[in-house]
Structure 1
């Protein structure tokens, strides 16, 4: 049975996109509020994901912002999926392809991210050829145009690394296996690890590798912890073969934060991480 998308994520995504549309169109929050016949605080709540916008309200704002028909319809459909009444807490999942856009919306606004990756270099650090190879490994018969579209999107996401308002504080722990799991070719891996060394020098990036010989560590799945200051929320993002799950309870975020801290403590310090990457890089040259 299909599971409903997370209503909290839907509200956040709609709010983020409506705010971008408003700012790109050059309208103030007061003008948006006037279009809805409401007050500025309502627009603030909608844009921060605190209050759901109805499909009708989305349509009115889209009219004001001059939003293209395709995007307008997409956002109105999202708004229609938000439950009118709160439900008892349950596990929500996002199915492909919408979960991709929801994750990107959260990632684009995150002020702090902690990521643990088991088998692959995390998407924000991937070069084009590595990204293409991972996509084709997942679906060898994929339409080349779709693959290139995904690669382009993955590269565009990396703009968050240079974002200053708000700046992103990114801490990544990679399993050493990600350095050895060949994607594409030896040449692709050489260029990918060289790029990894470059991004590890960014002032807002802390990159560590969890070595094979780390003791008392048995974490077998990847996870991303995200904090969005403007929305005053934190979530844990878990991805699997069927889609994505978001965990919102404070105790869940705390638990994953503790696990991530254990991984970070067991991982190599940043200087030794760079040394290990450089050593592995030599075998690909």
Structure 2
């Protein structure tokens, strides 16, 4: 937000009556910010009322944590923390995936295999933490007392055919998709290979809508981190593309039958 507002780090220190090191620590996730400090910065950066209220509420929810030992690696990279916050507060997520099952619908064995394949030399304890984080994220699909999350997924056939782990892992994963697709807040549509003349989209993407905060964001991920697109025209364009992909895919009922048939092939 500071960069988008056109301020240097030195200029942003003035409203906080702080020195450069403090702002640097806040921006790099090494030091927390109080709700008052977040509000001051939002006002200085000319954030919208919705953005201000949302970010202040996040600061109010931030739990106190013990100081971490130097050199201890976090299981959740800094660039992904924003994603987790958006995911938890979202009232609607539309996800287009080409060759993998989205994290919110993964089984533990499938998730572990994916994480291990990406970091084959990683310590088992780190893998365990990352798997735990991914499984805990799925609680958002069962939350109560707040607006529920509606998850709509367009899943490429490649995600069903690319073996992740073993055939047994894939069979369990596809059976899990069949099961969760019956929940009222989850819709899965499969895009088969043989759909004629569909549009080609080179990379996966996710659309987040946070009704209470009046925020809409497009999430794109690559090898170096993530990109968040929040301009209305950007969200609208991606939403239009998602609609075309969804319309070209099988119906939810046809998709469940398709996934069930695929699961039986993994024997």
**TM-score of Structure 1 vs Structure 2, range by shorter chain:** 0.7 to 0.9
Residue 177 of structure 2 is aligned with which of 185, 191, 196? 196
> Structure 2 CA distance, aligned partners of 1:100 and 1:112?
19
Q: How many residues align?
A: 221
Q: 1:11 matched to which residue of 2?
A: none
> Structure 1 CA distance, aligned partners of 2:140 and 2:236?
25
Unmatched tracts of structure 1, length 5 or more = 8-13, 15-21, 23-31, 72-95
Deviation at 1:159, TM superposition (A): 0.5
> Structure 1 CA distance, aligned partners of 2:217 and 2:157?
26
Q: 1:137 is paired with a residue of what secondary structure?
A: helix
Deviation at 1:49, TM superposition (A): 3.5
Residue 235 of structure 1 is aligned with which of 217, 242, 246? 217
Contact 1:121 1:178 in 2 (8 A): yes
Deviation at 1:99, TM superposition (A): 1.6
> Structure 1 CA distance, aligned partners of 2:238 and 2:3?
22
C-alpha change, 1:257 and 1:66, in structure 2 (3 Å) is closer
Q: Does 1:141 align with 2:121?
A: yes
Q: 1:156 matched to which residue of 2?
A: 136
Q: 1:84 matched to which residue of 2?
A: none
Contact 2:53 2:213 in 1 (8 A): no
> Structure 2 CA distance, aligned partners of 1:238 and 1:265?
22
C-alpha change, 1:52 and 1:69, in structure 2 (3 Å) is farther
| 1:233-272 map, 5 Å | 233-272=215-254
> Structure 2 CA distance, aligned partners of 1:126 and 1:252?
28
TM-score, normalised by the number of residues in structure 1: 0.70
Deviating runs (4+, > 6 A) in structure 1?
4-7, 51-54
Q: Does 1:282 align with 2:255?
A: no
C-alpha change, 1:52 and 1:268, in structure 2 (3 Å) is closer
Deviation at 1:186, TM superposition (A): 0.5
Q: 2:73 matched to which residue of 1?
A: none
TM-score, normalised by the number of residues in structure 2: 0.75
Across the aligned residues of Structure 1 and Structure 2, the Cα RMSD in angstroms comes to 3.1
C-alpha change, 1:228 and 1:143, in structure 2 (3 Å) is same
